């Protein structure tokens, strides 16, 4: 794998695109199902949780700035427990995250754009591109993100401005009437897609990032700006369709793009939404792919993780075809199971690691204080 470090700016772009990722299609309906008219508030609560979680990652990374996530687990948890934790984290990245993203691509393209093309073909084409992206190395795909983020932002701004005439402010009323439990449920739907999986950036940060201090700020700003993109698209979806219709759509933001109608010369341009989504999802996929490859290389003690790019890519492709039985299965999984799994790996695991790191540091400092008087004697 390419050993070059990425810049703090590239790191910001990757975090931004990762935060948007698959969420731009799924989050509006997921959050609207729980928070209804107060979807905007539920996502703002998600922002607060997001800052706390990223703050946790930054604290953990400062304890051992030259180690990656997998190295950190073995250092703090010991050889055998650390190996087990690495194996479980690898499976989380490979099955729950990477294979699921391959499934999302095939499912969306097959149901919305290419109904006559088999899902296995659509997944396979995306898998080939992802394999090539990871094989070229982190420095290369980070530079590619800088190029494509401009196209992403242009299409996104165009989408929002062109559907703005469809907004009905009455659809946002009544405000502040949703129970706290429902708001928290909606916020959980947001953070389980966009925040908890950020743990995989610790396979890049800070060990493989130039200027880690600036990158730490960009970690925060990347998640906040990505969250702002999701907040705006969610609020616009509610304002155009209303909460009941928004939650009924599997991909409300795609349906939103179908509403673009400027005179008689600019219609049927809903391909804008798939382009926006595929750009952000592609880089989210690369982070999951990179984390999977690095995890397996760590488990097998192979120095060149590039050896595993093709096997993991093909395995994720094969697994993605039958990962979910139907859309109902996908919905239940995303609503009930995914938040629990992402919380375990995205919050509970780093909390344990941070606690052990602080405990180890405390013991080392106390030993240093007791050793100093003995040397003087």
The total of other beta-carbon atoms located within 10 Å of residue 157's CB is 11
Bridge partners of residue 261, in order along the sequence: 267
d(CA 99, CA 39): 29
pLDDT computed for residue 165 by the predictor: 86
DSSP 244-284: HHHHH-SSHHHHHHHT-EETTTEE--TTHHHHHHHHHHHHH
Bridge partners of residue 262, in order along the sequence: 266
| CATH number of the domain that residue 351 is part of | 1.20.1740.10
d(CA 317, CA 125): 9
What are the pLDDT digits (tens) for 314-357? 999 999 988 888 778 888 888 889 999 999 999 999 999 999 99
What are the pLDDT digits (tens) for 350-371? 999 999 999 988 777 666 666 5
Is the Cα torsion angle 316, 28, 133, 114 positive or negative in sign? Answer: positive
- The answer as to whether 3 is a domain residue is no
- The answer as to whether 141 is a domain residue is yes
Q: Would you say 99 and 319 are in contact if contact means Cβ atoms under 8 Å apart? A: yes
d(CA 196, CA 16): 14
Q: How many domains does the chain have?
A: 1
3-state secondary structure of 70: helix
Q: Would you say 260 and 42 are in contact if contact means Cβ atoms under 8 Å apart? A: no
What are the pLDDT digits (tens) for 43-64? 999 999 999 999 999 999 998 8
d(CA 301, CA 295): 10
Strand 261-262 and strand 266-267: the pairing is antiparallel
Domain carrying residue 89 = 8-376
Q: Please indicate whether residue 184 or residue 267 has the higher confidence score (pLDDT).
A: 184
Whether pTM exceeds 0.85: yes
Please give the average per-residue pLDDT across 141-165, as a whole number. 93
Q: Would you say 56 and 354 are in contact if contact means Cβ atoms under 8 Å apart? A: yes
How far, in whole angstroms, is CA 79 from its chain's centroid?
29
- The answer as to whether 1 is a domain residue is no
Give the confidence band of 268 by pLDDT, cuts at 50, 70, 90: low
What are the pLDDT digits (tens) for 90-115? 999 999 999 999 999 999 999 888 99
Q: Please indicate whether residue 269 or residue 85 has the higher confidence score (pLDDT).
A: 85
Q: E strands of 155-205, at which residues?
A: none
- The answer as to whether 80 is a domain residue is yes
């Amino acid at each position: 794998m390419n050993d070059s470090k990425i810049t703090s700016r590239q790191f910001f772009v990757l975090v931004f695109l990762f935060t948007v990722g698959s969420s731009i299609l799924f989050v509006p309906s997921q959050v609207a199902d729980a928070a209804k008219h107060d979807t905007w508030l539920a996502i703002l609560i998600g922002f607060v949780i997001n800052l706390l979680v990223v703050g946790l990652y930054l604290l953990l990374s400062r304890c051992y700035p030259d180690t990656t996530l997998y190295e950190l687990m073995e250092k703090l948890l010991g050889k055998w427990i650390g190996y087990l934790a690495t194996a479980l984290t690898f499976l989380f990245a490979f099955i729950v995250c990477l294979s699921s993203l391959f499934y999302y691509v095939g499912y969306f393209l097959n149901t919305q754009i290419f109904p006559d093309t088999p899902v296995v073909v659509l997944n396979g084409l995306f898998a080939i591109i992802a394999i090539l992206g990871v094989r070229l190395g982190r420095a290369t795909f980070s530079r590619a993100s800088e190029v494509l983020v401009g196209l992403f932002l242009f299409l996104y701004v165009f989408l929002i401005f062109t559907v703005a005439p469809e907004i009905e402010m009455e659809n946002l009323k009544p405000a502040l009437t949703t129970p706290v439990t429902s708001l928290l449920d909606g916020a959980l739907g947001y953070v389980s897609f966009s925040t908890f999986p950020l743990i995989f950036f610790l396979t890049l940060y800070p060990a493989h990032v130039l200027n880690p201090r600036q990158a730490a700020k960009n970690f925060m700003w990347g998640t906040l700006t990505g969250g702002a993109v999701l907040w705006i698209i969610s609020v616009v979806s509610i304002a155009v369709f209303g909460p009941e219709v928004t939650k009924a759509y599997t991909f409300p933001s795609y349906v939103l793009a179908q509403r673009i109608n400027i005179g008689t010369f600019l219609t049927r341009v809903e391909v804008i939404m798939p382009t926006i989504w595929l750009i952000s999802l592609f880089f989210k996929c690369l982070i999951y792919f990179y984390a999977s490859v690095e995890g397996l290389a760590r488990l097998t003690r192979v120095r060149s993780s590039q050896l595993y790019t093709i096997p993991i890519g093909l395995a994720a492709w094969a697994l993605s075809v039958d990962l979910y039985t139907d859309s109902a299965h996908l919905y239940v999984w995303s609503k009930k199971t995914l938040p629990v799994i992402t919380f375990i790996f995205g919050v509970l695991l780093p909390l344990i690691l941070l606690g052990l790191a602080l405990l180890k540091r405390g013991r080392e400092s106390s030993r240093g204080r007791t050793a100093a008087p003995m040397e003087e004697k």
